[in-house]
Each structure stands twice: as C-alpha cells, then as structure tokens.
Structure 1
Amino acid sequence: MVHTLERLVVRHAFRLPAPAGPAGDGAAAARQFDVALMSVGFKLSAELFAALSSYDEKTVAELAARTLVSVRELVGDHVRHNTYFVDFPAHVPDTAAFWAECLVEALSDEAVRPTVLARLGDGVLDLLTLPAYGRYQHSYEELLAAHDELVASVGDRVTLLHLGGTLADEVTALYLALAGSRTPLGEEHLADLAVLARHRVHGPQPERIPVRENRAVINRARLRAGAGLLVDTVTDVLRLACALSGGDVGLREPTRFRAPSRPDRRALLAALDAVVAGNPAKLADVPPHREAWKRLGERLHPHEYPQWPHAADVFAVARGERKAPSLARRVEELLGEDDVSGAAELLAGVAPGALFRSLDRLLRTAAEGERREAVLTAAERAAPRVSGRVVLSVREHVQNRTGRGGPRRVFVNRRGGAWVTEDRRRPLPPAVRERLVALLDTETRRRLDVPERLLVDPAVLDVALPLSGRAASAGLGVLPRGSVSPVEGDLLRFFTYWKERSRTTDHDLSALVLDADYDAVTWLSYTSLTDVEGSHSGDLVQAPDGASEFIDLRLGLVRGDFIVPQVHVYGGEDFESVEESFFGFMLREADQGGRPFEPRTVRMKSDLRGPGRIALPLVFQRDDEGRWHARWLHLYLKGEPAENRVEENLVTFAVLVRGLVERTPLTVRHLTELMTRAGARTEAWDGRTLPEEPVTFIGLERPEGLPAGSRVITPENLRDLVPA
C-alpha cells in the first residue's frame, strides 16, 4: 500500500515523499538512483538528492526500486516495445512487395496453402491467413541487438522529481486537492480519489466539495467507514448508489444496481428521507433520472421501511404516482408559452448555473428588445451565484459565437466522444456578445486569487483551462483539450501499445497528413508502410503478451500542414476492454539512433481509455513560419464494429480537425491577463533567473530553486487556477 500511495504522489505532483528510515550515508545510493532515473528521462532535484544522501543506503535503495517502477510506468517503459520490422525505421519495405513476400512464404507452407488458395480463389488476399504477417518474427533481445545506443542530446526530456513532505502529509494534500477540485476529474483521477478517500476518510476534509461526482466517491468511502454522508440533494444519493454498484457516478451511462447490504439500504433511504423532509421541492430532481430511480427502488424496497416516508416519495415520483415537475419541464412550458423573460427569471432564482448554460438559447429565442434585455439582466443578477467553471465555460462559448463558423458544429462529451452536426444557430449580435464578455470577465476577475507577484513561463500561456472532466487523459506530458504546445526536433515518432485481455485484439496505428484546406495528402498505416514523410514499423494483429506499433516522420519532409495520428480498433477488444492501451510521441534528432522506443525522448504518453473504436489523441499543425505545434484533442470516435481504417474515415477526420483547430479555447493567458488587470505584478520567466522572494509561478514544469512559500501551478494542478 505504501508503494501505491507513493505512486499516486509521484504521478500527480512529481514529488517524492520523504522516506521513513534511519540516518546514514546514502550519497552513493542516491547517485545510482539519479543515474537510473536519467536513463528514463527523470532526475532528482538538488534538494531531493541532498535529502536522500542523509539516509542509510538500504532506505534509499528500496525507495529507488519503488520509484523507478512508478516513473517507468509513467513514460511507458514498463513494457517491452518490440516492432515487426526488426531494424525499423531502416529498411521498411514497400507495402505491396512486403505482402507479396508474405504470400510467397505462405504458399510454400503445405499446412496453410489450401486456406490461402481458397481465399485467393474468392478474389481476396486475406493477410491474417499468412503465417508471416502480423506476428513477431524475432525476439525483443534480437531487436535490441539490431540497434545502436541512443546518442545523448540536449533536447532529451528531463523531468525533475522534487522533495516532498512525509507520505502522510503528501497523501493528505493530494486528497484535499482532488476532493476539492473545482472542475470535474477524469475517470483515472476519480479512481485515484477513491483510493485516497479510503485512507483519509477520518482526516482533514476540504471546505467544499463542489463537484458532485467527487462527492459520490467520497461518500462511498464514508459509508464504508461509518462516517456521516455528505448529501444535500436526492441526486447525491443516486450517485452514491451508482458508486456502490461500480457504476457511472456521472449518471451518463445506466448502472446495473446490485442488491445492497441491509446497512447500505438503510443508509441510502435515511439520507433520501432527510433531504426530502428538509425541502420537498427537491423531489423535482427525480424526473430527469426517472428510470434509474425505478431500477434502484427495486433494490432498496422502500415500502419495507415506513419510518422513512419521504424516501418513499422519491420512488412514487419516479413511478409517476406523484407529480413533481422538473425544472427543465417548467422552463420548457414557459418557453412554449413564449415567456422567455419568465423562463430566465425562474432559472435565475433557483438554478443560476442552468441559466448561464441556457443563455445562448434564451437570447436567440428572445430575439431583441425588452425580452432580450430581461435575459441579460437576469444573467447579471445571477452571476455571483454561478460556479467559476461555468462562468469560464460560457466565456469560452461566447468567444466562439462570432458568426464566422462553418456550417458544422463539433460536439465533445464528458468522456471524449465526438460527433459533428450542421450548425443552424443564428449568430449572437456583436453588442450582446460584448456585453456578455464584459459581464463574464468582470465576474471572473472578482473571484480570482490575485497574487502580488506573478511569474509566468510563456510556454504555458496557450495551455487550455481544464473545464471538463475528460479535458485530458492520464499520463505524462498531457495537456487539456485545445492546448497548443511547440514541437521541436527533426524526427517525430508516434507509438501505441496494447495488451489484450481475453480475446485476440488488433489495434492499428496510423497517421493522416492534411493540407491547409484539410484535404488528404497521404497517410502512413499498415496499408501504406512508407512514403516521403516516413515509415510504419509494421502491422501486428494480436497481443497476448502486448504489442507495439510506431510511425516515424521527418518533419522537414512533411508535405502537408496537419499530421493527425490515430489508433484504430481493427478487431477484438476496444480501448476500455483491453488490459492496457496507451499512445505517445517521441522527439529526437535525426542522428541520435537508439531503439524504436527510448524513454528519454518521450514527450507525451497518455492512456487510451475512452468510448468508441477510434482514438484521436492530438493533431500537429505547421504555422505560417514553418514551425510545428501540437494541438491536443483527446477524442474518441464510434467507428465501425471491426476493420476500422484511416482511409475509410478521411472526411470525418478532416471535419473534426477543422472544427477543433478553428475553435478558440480559453487558456491560461486569459486568466493571467485578468490577474494583471487586477493588480498582479506579472513577469515572464526567462527559464533561468529565479526571484529571491516567494511568487506565484505558472509554467509547464516546476523549476528548481523557487523560494520557500511560492505557489506553483503546473499542468498537474492547473484546475487550481479556476476560481470558485
């Protein structure tokens, strides 16, 4: 368990908790630890190195062994990355020539010749019937022997590990940060919060838990520990019931409720009774989740507990035996009566957040005149009671409602699922947009925690604010959806790894090149192994022990303006069913050599755990000056049940990429400018000089040597920038 908690601290904060062990001379062990870390692109900070040197060697060695496991997993070096072509990227054959070679070899094999000939007789070359195709033809040791050592480069990634406090202090701090997050967490971070909550249920708690999904996870731990539940709506109880059954606490997917234990049943019914008894109007929250309540009622048997009559009312509403019109229904009734002002007033009074999320629709419905003024006035009155995340989300929405958009809209849901539809909305008038922008910026500035001195790494300014739960996947070097970061290097190499769980699974790595008009120039995949831009490492069609595929691109040779890497589920288990699946990219110089996978050159590695059967992690874009940038997508497309291929989805990819590239996200730059206007003394960090007094630092990585008492914001805790 110590390793699990240390791993969470390292992964979320890049801090190493101070070990519990005797004093001694651990300098030699610390140096060995540092060297081992550097081989995978990490390094001990000077403060951490000095601290570890004061422990005995055994303590440092044990800590090093645990930490190396954690950082190798972070970067994707915990598995063996083999390739089909042993000397990739050299000597990758032409696709047709390679297929012909596999066919000739198969026809010379008496055991498989009849099957191959039968398929050829049908006019089909079935690659999966060829023994030499899609299966490793050499061992991992033979792969290593075929490649020279990696030549060190100043461009190699170095990620510092910093000294933390005691393990208990670090775990408590991480629990408070995740539990009190002002923006929804991704599924991976929500699972980490569940682990931390079990250990900190009786310890310090955040002042507020604004995200309801977080509250559900914490309530599950509190219920197990016999602590009081944190519920103030009936939906809080429903989320807790979903958590107890291992279901979706976000209520986006149906949960198959298990029969709860008698103590859990009593706890859920007692909580429901208390909520409704305190405010019967909260029964209006039941209809939006009517079917889930019906299924839960079949498990809870509320009629067996007459001591909680108000809990029974919840299920009566769900069954339609008692009326409790939902807020959404009341709003729709008012809009049906053409009473836009009344709908705005209703929302402003009881659900200011819902009002803000409905502003675009209400303003378009109001058209102009007094009704539009009534909607804007209601928004101004309700603004102080709207969460900071919603204020910023609406601000991002408004700045993209310029009327200059194309005929299509791109939607991305909380889990990264994406789809495109025609945009039939009327544009918002410029005067309305300007008034909304002024309102939203004023409200945000009022809430910001404005530091006296702000030190900003310019590289972080174009990082998007994480306003949604799936804004980014878990991993190393991952930025929220919409973020833009520079790409420097001669060679760009993508990689994906998957390991099947229970049935044969084939994931395919591809890369699509688009021109400035979003038309396809070329692609690299198992159907196109080589082109001017680079090469593919070879198709693998099964992964009982794990499999890796790579794509090598020479950025100077790319003929288009966009590179769209993607991972397709060709057959078998999807991203959520496999035992493990991840994607990443490396940057290196042309003459560095090395193995296909070198952890020191990995700039980004993210888990692939999303809906659908096609993953689009990010897109690379060339600017007018010829420089490349990564723009983060974190998208999952539904795709086909089987045989997904890049060439079958060219139009879909182009439309999605265009819609997201041309959308302007709300970034760190927006908040730093508001802080500056509010009085912060803002300086751009030159990457070398550090202040002597405490500052608030915002950057991609925590620099070494910041004065004690400084507040540090990096992508790992970027959610802390979002005001309450």
Structure 2
Amino acid sequence: MDHTLEHLVVRHARRLPVPAGPAGDGAAAARQLDAALMSVGFKLSADLLAALSGLAEETVRATAARALDAVRELVGDHVRHNAYFKDFPAGVPDTRDFWARCLAEALVDPSARRSVAERLRDGVLNLLDLPSYGTYRHTYEEMLAAHDELVAAAGDRLTVLHPGRPLDEEVTALYLSLAGTTTPLGDAHLRDLALLAGHRADGPQPGEIPVREVRAVVNRARLAAGADPLLDTVTDVLRLACALADGDVTLREPTRFRALSRPLRRALLGGLDAVVAASPGKLADVPAHREAWKRLGERLHPHEYPRWPHAAEVFAVARGEKAAPSFDSRVEALLGRNDVTGAAELLTSAPGRLLRALDRLLRTAEGPEELEAVVTACERVLPQASGRVVLSLREHLWNRTDEGGKRRIFVNRFGGARTTVDTRPPLPDAVRERLCAALDAETRRRLPDPGQLLVDPAVLDVALPLSGRATADGLGVLPRGSVSPVEGDLLRFFTYWKQTARRTDYDLSALVLDADHQTVTWLSYTALTAVEGAHSGDITDAPEGASEFIDLRLGAVRGTYVVPQVNIYSGEGFEEVEESFFGFMLRDAEQKGRPFEPRTVRMKSDLRGPGRVALPLAFARDDDGRWHARWLHLHLKGEPSANRVEENRVSVTVLLRGLLARTPLTVRHLVDLMADGTAAPTAWDGTTSVPDGPVTYIGLERPAGLPPGSRVFTPENLRDLIPA
C-alpha cells in the first residue's frame, strides 16, 4: 500500500518522499537512479540527489525501483509500444499498395484463400479477413533493432522530481488538498481521494469541504472509520448513499442502490433526521431527485425506525404524499408571472443559483427598473457565492459579446459536447461592464496577498481549472481551452489500448483543416501517407496491448489546424478496456529513435469517457507560422461501431469552430488581479536569482532553489489558486 501512496505523491506533486532509513553512502546508487530517470525524461533535483546520497545504498535502490515505476507509468513507458510497420516512420507504404499486398498474401494462404476468394466474387473485400492485416508481424525486440538510438537534444523534456517530506506527511498534505478543493474533481482524482480518505479519515481534516461530491467520498471513508459523516443538507445524505453503492456522487447518472447493513441504514436515516429536524425547509431539495429518493427508500426501510420521523418525511415528499415545493419551482412560478424582481429577490437566498440564473434574469427583465433590480441583487450576493461560481460567471459574461453568427457550445461532465446557433439577445454593454467590474473586485478581495510574485510567462494562457472535469489525468495535461506553444520539427501522436475481454480496435487519426475549417487531408488506416507525414499502421486486436502512431512534419502541413482523434472502430469502450491513453511527442528531425521515446513525450492523457470518438486537443498555426496546442478534452458520441475520421469530419469541424470562438478565463486574469495595478509580477523562468524571502510562484513546473516558505502553483495544484 505504501508503494501505491508513494505513486500518488509523485503523480500529484512531482515530489519523491525521502524515505526513513539508516545513513550511508548511497551516492553511486542515487546517480544511477538519476541517469535512469533521465532516460525517461525525469531528473532528481540537486536537493533530492543530495538527500538520497546520504542514505544506505539498499534504501536508495529500493526507492529507485519504486520511483522508476511511478514515472514510467506517468509518461506511458510502463508498456511496450510496438508499431505495425517496424521501420516507422520510414518504410510506410502507399495505402492501396499495402492492401493489395495483404490480399496477395491471403490468396496464397491455405487457411484464408477460399473465404477471401468467395468475398471477392461478391465484390466485397473485408480487410479483417486478410491474415496479415491488423496484427503485429514482428516482435517488440525486432522493432527496436530496426531503429537507431535517440540522439539527445536540448529540447527534450526534463521533468524534475523534488524532495518530499516523509510519506505519511506527504499523504496527509495531498489528502487535505484534494478534500478541501474549491473546484470539483475529475473522476481519476475522486478515485485517488477515496484511497487517501481511507487512510486519513480519522486524522487531520480540512477546515471546510465545499464541494459536495468530494464530501460524499470523504463521508464514506468516515463511516468506515467509525466517525460521523458531515451532513448539512438532505442531498448530502443521498450522495453518501450513492458513494456507498459505488455510484455517481454527482447525481447526474442513476445509481443502483444495493442492500445496506443495519449500521449503515441507521447512519443514513439518523443523519437525514437530524438535517430535517434542524431545518425543515430543506425538504424542498427532495423533489429535484425524487426518483433516486424512492429507490433509496426501498433499501433503507424508514418505516422500521419510528424514532426518526423527520427522515420519513423525506420519503413522503419523494412519493408525493407531502407537499414541499422545490426552490426552483418557486422561482419558476414568479417568472411565470413575469415577476423578475421577485424572482431575483428570492434567489438572493441562494447566491450560487442567482449567479447561474443571471443571464436569464437579465434577458427576461423589462425596463430599466427590473434590470437594475437584477444587477443590484447580483452585486449584493457576490460575497456569499463561491469563488468558482464568481469566476465562471465572469468567463460567461466575457463571451457574451454582441457578435452575429456566434455559436453556443455545451460540454457535459463526460466531455460530451454539442453546439447550436446562439439565438439569445445580447446583454447591454453597460450592464456587462458593470457586472464584470463587480466580479473582478470580488475576486480581487478574496485573493491572498502574493507578496513577491514570480510568474513563468508560459503559464499565462493556461485556462483556470474551474472544474476538474475539464481535463484528464496524465502528464503535461492542461485544462480545456488552454493554449500552449509547440516547438519542434516533428510532431508525433500516439495511442495505446489493452482490451479486457473481447477484440477491440482503436484507430488513431489526424484531420488537417484549412483556415476556414475545411478538410485538407487526413492520416488514418485508410490514408497511411500524405505530404504531412505517415501513419504507423492499423492494429485491430489488443489482447497484450497495442499502439498506433502518426508522424507529422510541421513544416509540411498544408493546413492551419491539425485535430488528432481516437476512434473506436469495434469492441470495448474507453471505460471498458483495461487501459487506454493518448499523447504526443516532439523531436528534431535528426534525432531518430524508436517510435515511442519517453523523454520526447510532452503530454500523456488517460482516455476515459462514454463517447466513441476522443478529441484530446487540436493544434493551430498562427499568422507568424508558430504552432500552438489548444486543449479540448472532448468526446463525440459516435456510432456503436466503425467510427472513422472520414465520417465525423463535420461534427469535429463544428465543435472546433465553436470552441475556438470562445475565450476561457486564464491564469493571466488572476495574475492581473493580484498585481492590482501595482508593480507587475516578475517574469521568471528559473534561470535568474530569486529574492531571499518567500515568494509566490506560478508556472508549468516547480523550479529549484525557491526560498523556504514559498507558495508554488503548477498545473498539478492550480485548482488551489481558485479563491474559496
């Protein structure tokens, strides 16, 4: 278990807990670890190298094995990446010539000749009927032998591991950070939190757990540890029940509740009774999840516990036996009577809901008096709203400009997206400007004094992580909407998957679009070569895991946009396979090397989601010819089978156009508010001296040499920058 916890610390904090152990001469083993790490794009900081060197050699070697396992998994080097064409990117044939060769081989293969000939007589050719198509024809070792060693280059990625505190302290700090987050966590982070909470539920706790689904995960661990759950709404109880059933604590998907032990039933019903007894008005939250409460009631049997009558009221409301008009229904009743002022006044008792409904209220308001009432109500509740909601509204208003032909884009928690023409009337410019100024003033008030602020300029265009669901777990992954520069001659995409139980075929593809988002070309199993580059070949079965690659020469790209995608052609979905991920590498043309070289990997992202087509990011070339990555983290629903880049071009183009037209709120916004018109923050890349005292540093990676007591924000903990 300590091994797993250490992995979590490395993955989330880029720190390696310094182990407790006898002193000794571990310098040689520490240098060997450093060299091994550099082969996969990591390196020990000087402080960490010194700390390990002072330990016994046996301790260092044990630590080295665990550290290497952790970083290799982080970068995607824990599996073998073979390629169908072993000389890739050299030696990739023309697509039709390749298919013809596979057909010729099938016609001389006694096991396949008859069935293939019969298919041909019917005028049909199924590539999957050809024995030499879709499966590796060489071993991993033979592929390695076909490639020269990678030539090291200054541009190779080098991620520094810093010394951590003892494992117990690091685990506690990581638990407190995740449990006390002010923004929702993604599914991977929620799973990590569940593991950490199991070890820390009876230890130090954050002062507040503001995110409700996070609270549900913590409450499950608290119950297991014999502690009372933290409950202050009836919905907290419902979320906890979902957590106990391994269901959806966000309540967006129905949960199949299972039989509960008597102690758990007593804990849920007792907590529910206490919440309603303290505030009967909270029964109004029940109708929003009426069906879930009915199903839960069948498992809790509240009639068996007459000592908790208030809990029984919850289920009476769910069954319609007791009236408890929901808060939303009261708001809708007022709006139905065109009482916008009354609706705004009622919503002031729920600041978050008022801010989320603000656009509708502004559009519905008639006359300057109602408009003023809505704006005033918003300004009045801003101090009570969460920082995430304040910033979300600021981003929304920023994009509510009066531009004709704009499209609205909707993205759900799974990354599923759709877009429509924006038919909403514009908001008055004076109202937008007034509200933006109020929102900025409120955000500025909540931001801590940064003291000496050091900022890596490369982080300024990173989108604020207002939701952990707007990103994916992995290395070098940034939130949806972020923009980051791409520097290198060759851009190589890769995807890996390993099926669980049945034959599964994922297809890596890349769509090239011009400045008007029209198709120029694509690379896929149906188009192995183009001016832009080459595809490594189609693998159609992955019982031991499979990889596909696309090599692009950026200088040869004829379009303005490159959109990589992973299509599920057949078999298991992204949430069914044992493992699947996507990433990209950058290297110079003369570096050579294997198809997969971990130290050239710039990004590796887990592929998870219910869709059948994954769109992790897009690449765009600006007017000066420089390339940038624009992070998407989207999934298309796709078809049940046979998804291909040719078939989803229109959907991809429409979504890309809608996303590119939207401007996210970035780190630059918070940095400007922190500066507050005073001295500008210091642009710092880690190569110059730093002040003697503690600093606040915001960048893509933690630099070495920061003074003790400094606060550091990187993509791994950027959520902590969002004010409460």
How high is the TM-score relative to the length of structure 2?
A: 0.99
Q: Which residue of 1 aligns with 2:264?
A: 264
Pairing of 1:238-257 with structure 2 (within 5 A): 238-257=238-257
| Segment of structure 1 superposing worse, 686-695 or 281-290 | 686-695
Q: Which residue of 2 aligns with 1:379?
A: 378
Q: Which residue of 1 aligns with 2:583?
A: 584
Q: Which residue of 2 aligns with 1:658?
A: 657
Q: Give the Cα–Cα distance (whole angstroms) in 2 for the partners of residues 502 and 690 of structure 1.
A: 55
Q: Which residue of 2 aligns with 1:179?
A: 179
Q: Give the Cα–Cα distance (whole angstroms) in 2 for the partners of residues 375 and 690 of structure 1.
A: 50
Q: Is the 8 A contact 1:451 1:680 kept in 2?
A: no
Q: Which residue of 2 aligns with 1:123?
A: 123
Q: Which residue of 1 aligns with 2:609?
A: 610
Q: Is the 8 A contact 1:415 1:469 kept in 2?
A: no
Q: 1:424 to 1:157 in 2, by over 3 A?
A: same
Letter in 2 for 1:464: A
Deviation at 1:184, TM superposition (A): 0.5
Q: Secondary structure at the match of 2:568?
A: strand
Q: Which residue of 1 aligns with 2:389?
A: 390
Residues 1:89 and 2:77 are matched in the alignment: no
Q: Which residue of 2 aligns with 1:598?
A: 597
Q: Which residue of 2 aligns with 1:621?
A: 620
Letter in 2 for 1:700: L
Q: Which residue of 2 aligns with 1:140?
A: 140
Deviation at 1:111, TM superposition (A): 1.8
Q: Secondary structure at the match of 1:446?
A: helix
Deviations 1:681-719 (A, max 9, x none): 621114411313211000000111111111111000000
Q: Secondary structure at the match of 1:715?
A: coil
Residues 1:336 and 2:336 are matched in the alignment: yes
Residues 1:427 and 2:426 are matched in the alignment: yes
Q: Which residue of 1 aligns with 2:220?
A: 220
Q: Which residue of 2 aligns with 1:468?
A: 467
| Segment of structure 1 superposing worse, 358-367 or 406-415 | 406-415
Deviations 1:36-73 (A, max 9, x none): 10010000000000000010000000000011000000
Structure 1 segments (4+ residues) deviating >4 Å: 678-681
Gaps of 5+ in 2: none
Q: Is the 8 A contact 1:676 1:682 kept in 2?
A: yes
Q: Is the 8 A contact 1:456 1:684 kept in 2?
A: yes
Q: Give the Cα–Cα distance (whole angstroms) in 2 for the partners of residues 450 and 105 of structure 1.
A: 71
Q: Give the Cα–Cα distance (whole angstroms) in 2 for the partners of residues 12 and 635 of structure 1.
A: 23
Q: Which residue of 2 aligns with 1:523?
A: 522
Q: Give the Cα–Cα distance (whole angstroms) in 1 for the partners of residues 90 and 24 of structure 2.
A: 50
Q: Give the Cα–Cα distance (whole angstroms) in 1 for the partners of residues 551 and 446 of structure 2.
A: 47
Deviations 1:653-699 (A, max 9, x none): 11111111111000000000000016576211144113132110000
Q: Which residue of 2 aligns with 1:233?
A: 233
Q: Which residue of 1 aligns with 2:563?
A: 564
Q: Give the Cα–Cα distance (whole angstroms) in 2 for the partners of residues 690 and 376 of structure 1.
A: 47
Q: Is the 8 A contact 1:454 1:680 kept in 2?
A: no
Q: Is the 8 A contact 2:43 2:159 kept in 1?
A: yes
Deviations 1:129-155 (A, max 9, x none): 100000001000000000000000000
Q: Secondary structure at the match of 1:647?
A: coil
Deviation at 1:405, TM superposition (A): 5.6
Residues 1:64 and 2:79 are matched in the alignment: no
Q: Is the 8 A contact 2:106 2:130 kept in 1?
A: yes
Pairing of 1:192-591 with structure 2 (within 5 A): 192-349=192-349, 351-404=350-403, 406-591=405-590
Letter in 2 for 1:657: L
Deviation at 1:119, TM superposition (A): 2.4
Q: Is the 8 A contact 2:186 2:468 kept in 1?
A: yes
Q: Secondary structure at the match of 1:596?
A: coil
| Segment of structure 1 superposing worse, 113-122 or 34-43 | 113-122
Q: Is the 8 A contact 2:686 2:704 kept in 1?
A: no
Letter in 2 for 1:440: L
Deviations 1:395-427 (A, max 9, x none): 001000002263532111122111122321111
Deviations 1:635-660 (A, max 9, x none): 11100000000110111111111111
Deviation at 1:186, TM superposition (A): 0.5
Q: 1:603 to 1:443 in 2, by over 3 A?
A: same
Q: Which residue of 2 aligns with 1:74?
A: 74
Q: Secondary structure at the match of 1:522?
A: strand
Deviations 1:324-360 (A, max 9, x none): 11111111111111111111110112x1100000111
Q: Give the Cα–Cα distance (whole angstroms) in 1 for the partners of residues 151 and 389 of structure 2.
A: 48
Q: Give the Cα–Cα distance (whole angstroms) in 2 for the partners of residues 124 and 703 of structure 1.
A: 60
How high is the TM-score relative to the length of structure 1?
A: 0.99
Deviation at 1:113, TM superposition (A): 1.9
Q: Give the Cα–Cα distance (whole angstroms) in 2 for the partners of residues 313 and 199 of structure 1.
A: 35
Q: Give the Cα–Cα distance (whole angstroms) in 1 for the partners of residues 430 and 122 of structure 2.
A: 66
Q: Is the 8 A contact 1:452 1:679 kept in 2?
A: no
Letter in 2 for 1:312: A
Q: Give the Cα–Cα distance (whole angstroms) in 1 for the partners of residues 561 and 380 of structure 2.
A: 44
Q: Give the Cα–Cα distance (whole angstroms) in 1 for the partners of residues 541 and 288 of structure 2.
A: 43
Q: Secondary structure at the match of 1:473?
A: coil
Deviation at 1:513, TM superposition (A): 0.5
Q: Is the 8 A contact 1:181 1:719 kept in 2?
A: yes
Q: Give the Cα–Cα distance (whole angstroms) in 2 for the partners of residues 686 and 264 of structure 1.
A: 53
Q: Is the 8 A contact 1:286 1:293 kept in 2?
A: yes
Q: Give the Cα–Cα distance (whole angstroms) in 1 for the partners of residues 637 and 65 of structure 2.
A: 41
Deviation at 1:258, TM superposition (A): 0.8
Deviations 1:468-520 (A, max 9, x none): 13111000000011000000000000000000001110010000001110111
Q: Is the 8 A contact 1:219 1:229 kept in 2?
A: yes
Residues 1:642 and 2:641 are matched in the alignment: yes
Letter in 2 for 1:242: C
Pairing of 1:40-55 with structure 2 (within 5 A): 40-55=40-55
Q: Secondary structure at the match of 2:646?
A: helix
Q: Which residue of 2 aligns with 1:694?
A: 694
Q: Which residue of 1 aligns with 2:720?
A: 720
Aligned residues: CA RMSD = 1.0
Q: Secondary structure at the match of 2:717?
A: helix
Q: Give the Cα–Cα distance (whole angstroms) in 2 for the partners of residues 228 and 532 of structure 1.
A: 64
Deviations 1:79-112 (A, max 9, x none): 0000100100001001111011111111112221
Deviation at 1:34, TM superposition (A): 0.4
Q: 1:115 to 1:375 in 2, by over 3 A?
A: same
Q: Give the Cα–Cα distance (whole angstroms) in 2 for the partners of residues 115 and 432 of structure 1.
A: 71
Q: 1:495 to 1:345 in 2, by over 3 A?
A: same
Q: Give the Cα–Cα distance (whole angstroms) in 1 for the partners of residues 129 and 646 of structure 2.
A: 22
Deviation at 1:118, TM superposition (A): 2.7
Letter in 2 for 1:386: A
Gaps of 5+ in 1: none
Deviation at 1:454, TM superposition (A): 0.4
Q: Secondary structure at the match of 1:492?
A: strand
Q: Is the 8 A contact 1:445 1:678 kept in 2?
A: no
Q: Is the 8 A contact 2:484 2:630 kept in 1?
A: yes
Letter in 2 for 1:6: E
Letter in 2 for 1:552: D
Q: Is the 8 A contact 2:492 2:551 kept in 1?
A: yes
Q: Is the 8 A contact 2:30 2:49 kept in 1?
A: yes
